[in-house]
Amino acid sequence: MNILEISHIEKSFGNIPVLKDISLSVSDGEILSIIGPSGSGKSTLLRCATMLETLDKGEVRYQGNRAVWADNGGNVQFAPKKELKEIQRLYGLVFQNFNLFPHYSVMKNIIDAPVHVQKRKKEEAAKEARELLKKMGLEDKADAYPCQLSGGQCQRVAIARALALNPKILFFDEPTSALDPELTGEVLKVIRSLADLKIAMVIVTHEMAFARDISDKVIFMADGVIVEEGTPEQVFASGNERTQAFLGRYGDILK
């Protein structure tokens, strides 16, 4: 089944169209990478899918259920409150600049939502959090505060925080773009390790080799449209002029 289906969404800021008729789907456990030049609308697409932004046209479905859509009159509708809450439990988002809660310790950052949003037992949530931290290579950082961590460590905490809510699909918006080059590796390694969790992932990234290696499917976006979509082999070997022009900048990495 498709965990996520985006159909014909459009989004403008003022009168500048940023997303022009975007459709895509992600099946359970599938890993989709979205690449493309900056300003092409990748973040906006993720933000519309996660309802941080409200689309102008089209619809977004999770597990077949409509979360947000524009009706025939062009009015945007959301699923009823209760249903929407259920839908929101299905996805998580990892931000470029982490957005950890600075006043909470690493442990509290991870368990606070499971405990206070999902109403799970604190001990149980803490136990899971420690396992997640171990997976992230941060078992000794539970009591640290975000300001005491490096960017790479913060991003790994942010990933743990998202995973703690057991999402079925996790969005990443350039998870390594705010990091010093020597720190990107540790975060990419962690994301790779998630592949066996069977969580679907949608990853916006400029790390081409990573996208090629990890993805089931790659989308190349430019100027608010999907220029090309296919397996990594198809997209990275594409004959499409725009795709080639974009990938050319990364030529050496992909050899």
Partner 1 sequence: MGISQIQQLIGGMGVSIQIFTVTLVFSLPLGLIVAFGRMAKNPALQNLVKAYISIMRGTPLMLQLMVVYFGPFYLFGIKIGNSYRLWAVFIGFTINYAAYFAEIYRSGIQSMPAGQYEAAQILGYSKSQTFFKIILPQVIKRILPALTNEIITLVKDTSLAFTLSVMEMFTVAKALAAKGTMAPLLAAGIFYYVFNLLVAVVMEKAEKKLDYYR
Ligand X SMILES: Nc1ncnc2c1ncn2[C@@H]1O[C@H](COP(=O)(O)OP(=O)(O)O)[C@@H](O)[C@H]1O
Residue whose pair of structure tokens reads 């050496």 in the numeric block: 252
Q: Does 44 bind ligand X (CB under 6 A)?
A: yes
DSSP H helices, the chain, are 42-49, 81-88, 106-116, 122-135, 151-163, 181-193, 208-214, 232-236, 241-248, 251-254
- Reduced to 3 states (helix: H, G, I; strand: E, B; else coil), residue 48 is helix
State how far the Cα of 192 lies from the Cα of 172, in Å rounded to an integer: 12
The answer to whether residue 13 forms part of the interface with ligand X (CB under 6 A) is yes
Return the half-sphere exposure (C-beta side, CA atoms, 13 A cut-off) of residue 230: 12
Among 40, 153, 184, 243, interactor with ligand X by CB under 6 A: 40
Say whether residue 127 binds ligand X (CB under 6 A): no
Q: How far apart are CA 188 and CA 191, in angstroms?
A: 5
Hunting for tokens 């080799």 — which residue is that? 209
Measure the CA–CA gap between 59 and 216, rounded to whole angstroms.
24
Q: 50 contacts which partner out of ligand X, partner 1, Mg ion, none, CB within 5 to 8 A by kind?
A: partner 1
Please state the closest distance from residue 168 (CB atom) to partner 1, in A: 14
Residue (95 or 246) nearer to partner 1, CB: 95
Task: Give the footprint of partner 1 on residues 152-171 (CB under 8 A).
Answer: 161-162, 165
* Residue count, binding to partner 1 (CB under 8 A): 27
* Cβ atoms within 10 Å, residue 51: 16
168 binds, among ligand X, Mg ion, partner 1, none (CB under 5 to 8 A by kind): none
Would you give the binding string for partner 1 spanning residues 102-141, x where CB under 8 A is met?
A: xx--------xx--xxx-----------------------
- Max CA pair span of the chain: 55
Contact with ligand X (CB under 6 A) among 33, 43, 50, 243: 43
- Which chain residues interact with ligand X by CB under 6 A? 13, 18, 38-44
Positions in the binding site for partner 1 (CB under 8 A): 50-52, 85, 88-89, 91-93, 95, 97, 99-103, 112-113, 116-118, 145-147, 161-162, 165
